[in-house]
């Protein structure tokens, strides 16, 4: 049996693409998601800061973010609990540092207004004399959003296989692929299988460049970067409306959490694809910094982790057909914008795979910025044969 679409990667990118592809096609039958781990969303998608910031990122990311936030809020209105809710984002520091980080639409805060919002910064007026706030930012429940996409996809007939690591991708005559899959034996007997597919969607996160190499696809310059965070308890809990706070000079940040606070160094240290863990002493050093620079008093560490944020040199995700491997589709490089761009990128993926073009809801400039790098600049990207629809007449092609 030949699958219409095989999606490699069961994080927020792969699962949202699966649910949106099923919606646009009218059914999920013929869509297979392959996830290497024992469950979906165990790597970067389970280690998100869960803050969606409309002013965070380069121009194309801002457009993708605005559209995604709107869709996530709308989807949550039909559920028992919301998928996202308002939660302001504050950048605080010296005026020149705040100006360098502030995005269009952010509102300047006086020192007095900053202290009202963030009283823990009152004791350090030299470091935090000014600030800017994004009142349009929202918090999201990352696990609930992942579960919603999974449930939506499976209800439509999408098959999700875990413990299914892709170890080979071979193009075949008739514009199909053979996808070689190995099971580790952790959840069942060790197995080796081959899946035939018309379209392969590479949503493999930090492993996306490796998956592309298996297919002989065009390298995209995708680089994973480490970012360490922790959940900590506080001597004095935040009020519910307390914003997320980013230090404009050093880029560490914190936000309220039911256990107390989530804190992060905000670093971007290059890494190989892996199940990353914090460096020795990293969280302790961050706690020391926070207690020195603010009035926060941290009483314990509940959990700590390191996630990988994978980016292209442009810091813009890649979403589109590869120029050297017909039928191979890139959906990767979301960097630190994975959840906040996921709905828009899922829709763009679905429209390109099913219809051959992105609709007018996304600007031509953003569509162009998402285009995969090409070995030959004159190559015309196309929708491969065997998909469900014909190229549409409107929108911009990737």
pLDDT per residue, tens digit, the chain (398 aa), is 789 999 999 999 999 999 999 999 999 999 999 999 998 877 877 678 889 999 889 999 999 999 999 999 999 998 889 999 999 999 999 999 999 998 888 999 999 999 999 999 998 999 999 999 999 999 999 999 999 999 999 999 999 999 999 999 999 987 899 999 999 766 555 678 999 999 999 999 999 999 999 999 999 999 999 999 999 999 999 998 999 999 999 889 999 999 999 999 999 999 999 999 999 999 999 999 999 999 999 999 999 999 999 999 999 999 999 999 999 999 999 998 999 999 999 999 999 999 999 999 999 999 999 999 987 543 333 333 333 333 222 333 33
Q: For residue 96, give the 3-state DSSP assignment.
A: helix
pLDDT score of 187: 58
- Two tokens, residue 155: 């209800």
pLDDT at residue number 185:
66
Predicted pLDDT of residue 256: 95
Asked if residue 80 is part of any domain, the answer here is no
Q: What is the pLDDT of residue 184?
A: 76
For residues 282 and 301, membership in a common domain is answered with yes
SS3 (DSSP) at 224: strand
Q: Is 31 part of a structural domain of the chain? A: yes
For residues 204 and 265, state if they share a domain.
no
Torsion sign, CA atoms 149, 150, 154, 155:
negative
User: Total structural domains in the chain?
Assistant: 2
204 and 331: one domain?
yes
Give me the phi and psi of 218, to 5 degrees please. Answer: -70, 125
pLDDT of residue 376: 56
Query: Using CA atoms, how far apart are residues 232 and 98, in angstroms rounded to an integer?
Result: 26
Q: What are the helix (H) ranges across the chain?
A: 12-25, 59-76, 95-101, 111-117, 142-155, 208-214, 282-293, 338-354, 364-370
The β-bridge partners of 298 are: 234
The answer to whether residue 84 is domain-embedded is no
Q: How far apart are the first and last CA of the chain?
A: 29
- Domain hosting 285: range is 89-134+223-311
Element (H, E) at 197: strand 191-202
Whether residue 359 is contained in a domain is answered as yes
Question: Is 307 inside any structural domain?
Answer: yes
42 in the same domain as 98? no
pLDDT for res 44: 75
Q: Is residue 107 in a domain?
A: yes
Is 10:40 a contact under the CB 8 Å cutoff?
yes
Q: Write down the pLDDT at residue 390.
A: 30
């Amino acid at each position: 049996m030949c699958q219409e679409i095989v999606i490699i990667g069961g994080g927020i990118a792969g699962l949202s693409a699966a649910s949106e592809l099923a919606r646009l096609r009218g059914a999920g039958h013929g869509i297979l998601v392959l996830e290497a781990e024992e469950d979906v969303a165990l790597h970067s998608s389970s280690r998100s800061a869960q803050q969606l910031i409309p002013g965070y990122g380069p121009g194309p990311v801002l457009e993708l973010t605005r559209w995604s936030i709107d869709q996530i809020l709308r989807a949550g209105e039909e559920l028992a609990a919301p998928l996202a809710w308002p939660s302001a984002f504050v950048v605080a520091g010296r005026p020149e540092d705040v100006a360098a980080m502030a995005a269009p639409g952010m509102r300047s805060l006086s020192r007095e207004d900053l202290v009202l919002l963030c009283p823990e910064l009152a004791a350090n007026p030299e470091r935090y004399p000014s600030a800017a706030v994004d009142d349009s930012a929202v918090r999201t429940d990352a696990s609930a959003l992942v579960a919603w996409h999974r449930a939506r996809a499976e209800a439509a007939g999408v098959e999700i296989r875990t413990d299914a690591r892709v170890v080979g991708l071979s193009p075949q005559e008739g514009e199909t692929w053979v996808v070689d899959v190995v099971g580790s034996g952790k959840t069942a007997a060790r197995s080796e299988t081959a899946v035939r597919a018309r379209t392969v969607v590479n949503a493999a996160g930090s492993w996306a460049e490796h998956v592309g190499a298996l297919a002989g696809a065009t390298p995209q310059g995708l680089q994973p970067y480490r970012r360490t965070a922790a959940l900590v308890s506080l001597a004095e809990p935040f009020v519910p409306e307390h914003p997320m706070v980013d230090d404009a000079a050093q880029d560490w940040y914190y936000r309220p959490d039911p256990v107390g606070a989530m804190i992060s160094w905000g670093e971007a240290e290059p890494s190989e694809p892996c199940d990353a863990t914090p460096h020795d002493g990293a969280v302790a050093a961050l706690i020391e910094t926070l207690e020195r620079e603010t009035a926060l008093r941290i009483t314990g560490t509940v959990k700590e982790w390191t996630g990988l944020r994978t980016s292209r040199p442009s810091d813009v995700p890649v979403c589109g057909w590869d120029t050297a491997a017909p039928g191979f589709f890139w959906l990767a490089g979301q960097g630190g914008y994975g959840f906040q761009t996921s709905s828009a990128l899922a829709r763009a993926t679905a429209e390109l795979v099913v219809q051959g073009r992105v609709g007018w809801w996304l600007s031509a400039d953003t569509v162009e910025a998402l285009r995969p790098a090409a070995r030959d600049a004159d190559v015309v990207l196309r929708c491969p044969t065997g998909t469900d629809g014909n190229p549409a007449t409107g929108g911009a092609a990737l």
